Structure 1
Amino acid sequence: MMRATEYVLGEQPFVVRRVVRWGDCDPAGVVYTGRFTDYLLGAVGLFSDHLAGGAGRLGAVHGVGTPCKGMRFEFIGTLWPDDVIDIECWVEAIRTRSYDIRCVARRPDGTPVFDAMFSPICVRLDERVGTPIPDSLRAALAAFQRIAGHAAESA
């Protein structure tokens, strides 16, 4: 029987549950550092789908591309096969052309595992140059925006 390794646990706040697979780990049984990026991108993808209302890719729904401008990680805990983490996602900042999606991962008991930021930038689809965030996208982002530090003091 197959079981999901990543799924939306809740929408308010938006939380993705992830189960560590054996294949995510090195021979010592510890998750490879590079897999944390996969965990972040999976959570950001599900969050972005939610922001788009299931209508397609978030940027495309609003007429722009949204490639990654930057990513940052703080590694706090180690993971092993079958460990479970809950990744809470929210919009932390909205600027002229880019925005930040903050993702904080914790074990179900609340123990922090990582704190990461994914920062897309809006680009025109015809020339792939930076462009202001469309008003419709700005409104979708604002609905999930939080003041910096509000939900992640312990992380």
Structure 2
Amino acid sequence: IEPEGEPKKILRVTLPLGMQLGHGTRVIVDSNPPQQSPYVICFANGCMSDYDVTPELLASMKKGQNLVVQAINSNGAPLTLPLPLTEFAKAYDGPPTDPKVFEETQKKLQEELQKRAEEARKKLEATQPSAGAAAANPAAK
């Protein structure tokens, strides 16, 4: 995140609800030392922690192969999310995404997901015996 009019850049990590908040999150680029940050806020879709993007962190992300996000879930088990950085430098240094193109891409993705969900629902309904018919004719047992 690059707040308008500010030189400060932020890497915002958002994880689903159900994490132990006291531990915060950690990010690790390749074999560099981990950086830790507390959660700053939680919303209905998850909890967020912010990292200052120093020139060193940015350089390591541009040259790096993997960014690992770590947290502790509600059961006390570690959650490790590896994210590839192979195209990060190209994406970061490249032209910004046109908001209209992004919106259209998101709309197409949403439509495709809805189509797949509907197909999965129909397939599931077709494979399940009709519960209504069995209830209407209890003597059929």
What is the TM-score when the length of structure 1 is the normalising length?
0.22
Higher fraction of helix:
2
Structure whose CA Rg is larger: 2
With normalisation by structure 2, the TM-score equals 0.23
